[in-house]
């Protein structure tokens, strides 16, 4: 059974197309897919269009539902988008924002007492080693701490499709790896499909079952990390001369030799 299928997707801003006729082979529940590509390739636009945050035409099928035909409220029950930057000026504690996320999750949120929702929110924070942030105000956190809080809010909703837009850009090395490992765990244990925009190709290879490489609003390559991250594709998309190899522990490594000019 195919769980997420995107076909003929057009999306853009103010009538100006950024993505057009975009197709992605079917993704299955439990799968982690990274979306990589140069600045301005349309990665965030793709995620925003899947989340219903910008107008889009075409087909986005998630399980049996055609997302483009659902109301935003029904779509939000299935899809959660974590943006690159969280809203400013939220004077709530991190725990309160995670509780609000749980409350906004139908089925589960509605049946919890206040104490149960707070307990569940604390568990989610513990899961990402961020329980120390529980009592801190969101608007007083560092950039990386805000990202962790945003991730906790997103995980707490337990969506079918979780869209993470550069979720590790402000995180230190430990939390980058931790957050990506958590995304994998969440996908496997809860049967979510997770799409993550990343710039770090080695991190993308580590976390992903498959990688989508985008450039200029198009899908340039899609496949396992070994299929999608090749010297030819890196030269075409990023204009760099690179070597790609597996280290003796199996991790994919990308070595950049030169920037291609001309």
Ligand X SMILES: Nc1ncnc2c1ncn2[C@@H]1O[C@H](COP(=O)(O)OP(=O)(O)OP(=O)(O)O)[C@@H](O)[C@H]1O
By CB under 6 A, name the binding residues for ligand X: 13, 18, 37, 39-45
- The least distance separating ligand X from the CB of residue 151, rounded to whole angstroms, comes to 18
Q: Are 194 and 47 in contact (CB under 8 A)?
A: no
Give ∠ CA 225-230-235 in degrees, rounded to 5: 135
Which CB, 48 or 146, lies closer to ligand X? 48
The whole-angstrom separation of Cα 23 and Cα 51 is 16
- The least distance separating ligand X from the CB of residue 136, rounded to whole angstroms, comes to 28
Which CB, 158 or 165, lies closer to ligand X? 165
Which CB, 81 or 101, lies closer to ligand X? 81
CA separation, residue 252 to residues 185, 206, 247 (Å): 20, 7, 6
Sequence-ordered strand ranges (E) for 43-190: 56-62, 65-66, 79-82, 161-165
Sequence-ordered strand ranges (E) for 14-129: 16-27, 32-36, 56-62, 65-66, 79-82
Which CB, 43 or 75, lies closer to ligand X? 43
Which CB, 125 or 198, lies closer to ligand X? 198
Count Cα atoms within 13 angstroms, Cβ side, for 40: 2
The DSSP bridge partners found for residue 24 are 6
- The least distance separating ligand X from the CB of residue 166, rounded to whole angstroms, comes to 7
- The least distance separating ligand X from the CB of residue 168, rounded to whole angstroms, comes to 14
Which CB, 87 or 106, lies closer to ligand X? 87
- The least distance separating ligand X from the CB of residue 35, rounded to whole angstroms, comes to 8
- The least distance separating ligand X from the CB of residue 83, rounded to whole angstroms, comes to 11
- Name the DSSP letter for residue 180: H
């Amino acid at each position: 059974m195919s769980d997420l299928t995107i076909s003929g997707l057009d999306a853009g801003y103010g009538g100006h197309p950024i993505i057009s006729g975009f197709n992605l082979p079917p993704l299955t529940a439990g799968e982690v897919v990274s979306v990589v590509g140069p600045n301005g390739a349309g990665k965030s636009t793709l995620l925003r269009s899947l989340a219903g945050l910008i107008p889009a035409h075409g087909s986005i099928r998630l399980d049996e539902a055609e997302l483009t035909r659902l109301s935003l409220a029904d779509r939000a029950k299935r899809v959660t988008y974590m943006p690159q930057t969280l809203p400013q000026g939220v004077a709530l504690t991190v725990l309160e924002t995670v509780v609000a996320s749980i409350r906004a999750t139908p089925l589960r949120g509605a049946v919890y007492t206040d104490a149960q929702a707070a307990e569940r929110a604390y568990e989610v924070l513990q899961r990402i080693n961020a329980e120390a942030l529980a009592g801190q105000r969101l608007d007083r956190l560092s950039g990386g701490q805000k990202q962790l809080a945003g991730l906790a809010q997103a995980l707490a909703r337990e969506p079918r499709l979780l869209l993470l837009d550069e979720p590790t850009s402000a995180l230190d090395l430990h939390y980058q790896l931790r957050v990506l490992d958590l995304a994998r765990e969440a996908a496997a244990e809860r049967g979510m499909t997770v799409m993550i925009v990343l710039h770090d190709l080695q991190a993308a290879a580590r976390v992903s079952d498959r990688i989508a490489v985008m450039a200029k609003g198009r899908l340039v390559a899609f496949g396992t990390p070994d299929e999608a991250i090749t010297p030819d594709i890196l030269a075409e998309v990023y204009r760099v001369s690179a070597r790609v190899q597996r280290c003796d522990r199996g991790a994919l490594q990308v070595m950049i030799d030169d920037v291609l000019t001309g």
